[in-house]
């Protein structure tokens, strides 16, 4: 039996549009140009690194550490307001059924997400009881492509890295999985990345791949 570690945003739920709206609000306040192309570069990247990417377009006086903290808080407060509009319907039937079936097949399931809002999101969409472990932005010091978030997930599960499968939508997440010596399954955007061991269109395919 395998331990299957799921990335959250872009795999189980789709919060891209909320990240975009919240970063856009912050960028507009600061007079910084921001668009969906820049937003795509933030996928799987930590909040702090996301801010630095957005600030590449900032032309004002240098910002202090405190000002940067305030900007991240401003963004996250609005992002959390948007997350409150999510509910159980924001997880597809396919995803719900796949998680249920994988558990019935005897696999251990975990989350490996860069997001510090992971537990809040899992509760909002009512899948918080489907996982044996949650490793997220609150328990790591290095974000993807560093393997730490997935290594911690494996440690929480008590599994060896080579028995773990990671399901990811971001190139940085596939790199992180391979750096940990895990099997990397790409979905969504990551299916165009040649480092994936497997590429899937739907999570239900996992129940066949790892029967
Ligand atoms: P937060 P994942 C990532 O989640 C998102 O893809 C990325 O866009 C975001 O910046 C990051 O979480 C941090 O999120 O601000 O909520 O801590 O794809 O690793 O599940
Ligand atoms: Mg993701």
Residue 1, pLDDT > 90, answer no
Nearest ligand atom owner, CA of 140: 1
State mean pLDDT over 49-68.
96
* Whether 139 contacts 152, CB under 8 Å: yes
CA 126/CA 91 separation, integer angstroms: 9
Does 113 contact ligand 1 (Cβ within 6 A)?
yes
22, 44, 190, best to mutate for ligand 1 pocket (most atoms within 8 Å of CB): 44
For the chain, percent of residues with pLDDT exceeding 70 = 100
What contacts 168, CB < 8 A, 6 or more positions away?
7, 10, 11, 44, 174, 176, 177, 184, 185, 186, 187, 190
Q: Which atom of ligand 1 is nearest to the CA of 137?
A: 17
* Whether 188 contacts 62, CB under 8 Å: no
Q: 29 C-alpha to center of ligand 1: Å?
A: 22
pTM above 0.85, yes or no: yes
Q: Which residue, 39, 11, 9, is CA-closest to 184?
A: 11
- Please report how the helices 47-55 and 16-30 are oriented relative to each other, as an axis angle in degrees rounded to 10: 40
Does 135 contact ligand 1 (Cβ within 6 A)?
no
Q: Which strands make up the sheet holding 3-6, listed edge to edge?
A: 133-135, 108-112, 3-6, 164-168, 183-186, 198-199
Nearest ligand atom owner, CA of 137: 1
Per-residue pLDDT reduced to its tens digit, 145-203: 999 999 999 999 999 999 999 999 999 999 999 999 999 999 999 999 999 999 999 99
Per-residue pLDDT reduced to its tens digit, 140-152: 999 999 999 999 9
DSSP 8-state assignment for residue 31:
T
CA 79/CA 132 separation, integer angstroms: 27
Per-residue pLDDT reduced to its tens digit, 33-50: 999 999 988 988 899 999
72, 73, 113, best to mutate for ligand 1 pocket (most atoms within 8 Å of CB): 113
Give the active site residues.
7, 9
């Amino acid at each position: 039996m395998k331990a299957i570690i799921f990335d959250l945003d872009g795999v189980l739920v789709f919060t891209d549009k909320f990240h975009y709206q919240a970063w856009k609000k912050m960028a507009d306040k600061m007079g910084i140009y921001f668009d969906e192309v820049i937003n795509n570069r933030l996928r799987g990247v930590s909040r702090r690194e996301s801010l630095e990417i957005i600030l590449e377009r900032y032309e004002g006086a240098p910002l202090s550490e405190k000002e940067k903290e305030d900007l991240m808080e401003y963004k996250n407060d609005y992002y959390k307001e948007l997350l409150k509009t999510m509910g159980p319907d924001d997880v597809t039937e396919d995803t719900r059924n796949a998680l249920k079936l994988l558990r019935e097949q005897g696999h251990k399931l975990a989350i490996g997400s860069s997001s510090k809002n992971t537990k809040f999101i899992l509760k909002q969409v009512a899948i918080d009881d489907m996982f044996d472990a949650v490793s997220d932005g609150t328990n790591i010091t290095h974000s993807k492509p560093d393997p730490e978030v997935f290594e911690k997930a494996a440690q929480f599960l008590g599994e060896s890295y080579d028995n773990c499968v990671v399901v990811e939508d971001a190139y940085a997440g596939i790199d992180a999985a391979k750096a940990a010596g895990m099997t990397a399954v790409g979905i969504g955007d990551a299916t165009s990345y040649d480092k994936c061991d497997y590429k899937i269109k739907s999570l239900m395919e996992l129940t066949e791949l790892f029967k």
